[in-house]
Structure 1
Amino acid sequence: MTDEQRRPQAAAAFDALGAEYEKAFAGSHPHRRSLEWLLGRLAPGSRVLDVGSGTGRPTAETLAGAGHDVLGVDISPVMVDLATRQVPAATFRCADIRDVPLADASFDAVCVYFSLLQLDRREQADLVRRLVRVLKPEGYLVLATVPLDVEGVDATFMGQPVRVTSFSAQDLTTVAEEAGLEVLAQEASLFTPAHPDARPEPHLFLHCRRRTAIAPGV
């Protein structure tokens, strides 16, 4: 599947889900704890990038509500429209994050909550490396995913067809470390989205800090 085919498929799935996605995941206590972890480390008025910002809730809303400068990027026009209306204190862009120009060392923190699963493994690793570069030295990156050893699997997510690729927990930790991150804390849990077509799914949250120096070529 080409990039041009994958992007519309990912956008279409989340366009169809819209606000239902927010409702389905609103009960995720590990996500809330993850945001609390980040908030406890950010200086006032920090600049934060929210990759795959969805409806803006809870991530952008929580961070902007705490006074931080939040830029959310999502490939779904429906999600971006919802987020713009629901979280006016943040800024949102409808785009593929890989196409958005981002200056090195321009963000204090980056959030990546379940937004890599539609990319293949090489693309995921490449994107994590790029996101580390846009972090200021010792900036924070929170990465959450469904830690399964699967690649290019056609699946149904809340009634929508998706193609999923992921890493095992250990392999994702390796991806993070090789990108220039230090994993400070992690939480694994099993969560069932509040949706009739949802099934229990493992979740992994990695709480990371960019190392001061990144090896050349990373």
Structure 2
Amino acid sequence: MERISKTITAYDNNCVAFNDKFIDYLPYQKMIREFINLLEPGIKVLDLGCGPGNVARQLMLAGKNFTLKGIDLSEEMIKLAQKNAPAGDFSCQDIRDISFNAESFDAVFLSFCIVHLNQTEVLSLLQKVSNYLKGEGKLYLSFMEGKKDGFEKTSFSKEEIYYFYHSAKSVKKILEDNHLSIIEIKEQDYPENDGSITTDVFIFAKKQFTSNGTCT
């Protein structure tokens, strides 16, 4: 599929520039730390679309002894993640094809990875994520809205990358339909190179169970 192959090639070729921009990007660090504060020590965490390990690095620095599994389709990003968060377990895999046992993780991160998935793929992935989360398990989800879907150049890559701009309303409905209740939604402006502004959306959610252990 062209949009995937071109996107991954761009990430492979520009992984260092991406790492340099986002590994310590303060607006995202702040959101990640706020979510980490909600997590108990020693839990199992899944980081999907882990990139160069910018989330994983924050998880390790938190000192909570998390067990971390990271997945990304870019081999070069995985190499960087292994350097940035050596305590994590990282593998190169398509997040659309993941398969884990039910209730395998206490928390899942989807940090700006659904921006490369269409609506059908997002629905399928979030259904899986809900299944992989334990009862009361937590989800960190971030994405952008405000532009049209398509290939575009970025601040870290002159090679084009395909982006989907999902609406917060549609993502919220998918979450709720899959027993993931919203803890908090935050938005912040992101200035683009062309002077336009897109909106970064951050959602903290948790899997809901009734007292008898069934999904609400």
| Residue in 1 that maps onto 2:94 | 96
Does structure 1 conserve the Cα–Cα contact (< 8 Å) formed by 2:50 and 2:56? yes
Question: Does 2:52 correspond to 1:62?
Answer: no
**2:24, 2:188 → 1: CA distance?**
13
Any residues of structure 2 matched to 1:9-24 within 5 Å, and which?
A: 9-24=6-21
Please point out which of 122, 139, 142 is paired with 1:141: 139
Does structure 2 conserve the Cα–Cα contact (< 8 Å) formed by 1:144 and 1:206? yes
**1:28, 1:177 → 2: CA distance?**
30
Change in CA separation of 1:61 and 1:27 when aligned onto 2, cut-off 3 Å = closer
**1:13, 1:214 → 2: CA distance?**
40
1:32 is displaced (CA, Å) by: 2.0
TM-score, scaled relative to structure 2: 0.87
**1:175, 1:122 → 2: CA distance?**
11
Return the letter of the residue paired with 1:60. A
**1:199, 1:24 → 2: CA distance?**
19
| Residue in 2 that maps onto 1:71 | 69
**1:198, 1:107 → 2: CA distance?**
40
Change in CA separation of 1:26 and 1:60 when aligned onto 2, cut-off 3 Å = closer
1:99 is displaced (CA, Å) by: 2.2
Please point out which of 189, 204, 207 is paired with 2:204: 207
**1:52, 1:112 → 2: CA distance?**
7
**2:204, 2:12 → 1: CA distance?**
29
**2:159, 2:199 → 1: CA distance?**
19
1:157 is displaced (CA, Å) by: 2.6
Return the letter of the residue paired with 1:104. A
Unpaired stretches in structure 2, ≥5 consecutive residues? none
**2:205, 2:160 → 1: CA distance?**
31
Q: Deviations over 1:97-119 (max 9, x none)?
A: 22232111010000001001121
Secondary structure of the corresponding residue to residue 145 of structure 2: coil
1:20 is displaced (CA, Å) by: 1.1
| Residue in 2 that maps onto 1:180 | 179
Root mean square deviation, CA, Å: 2.1
Does structure 1 conserve the Cα–Cα contact (< 8 Å) formed by 2:51 and 2:77? yes
Does structure 1 conserve the Cα–Cα contact (< 8 Å) formed by 2:147 and 2:198? no
**2:21, 2:195 → 1: CA distance?**
9
Return the letter of the residue paired with 1:69. T
Q: Deviations over 1:149-181 (max 9, x none)?
A: 644x23223322122223212222112212221
Unpaired stretches in structure 1, ≥5 consecutive residues? none
1:26 is displaced (CA, Å) by: 4.5
**2:119, 2:47 → 1: CA distance?**
20
Please point out which of 132, 141, 144 is paired with 2:130: 132
Q: Deviations over 1:40-86 (max 9, x none)?
A: 222211110011111112x1011123221111100000000111122
Number of positions where the alignment pairs a residue of Structure 1 with one of Structure 2:
208
**1:44, 1:27 → 2: CA distance?**
23
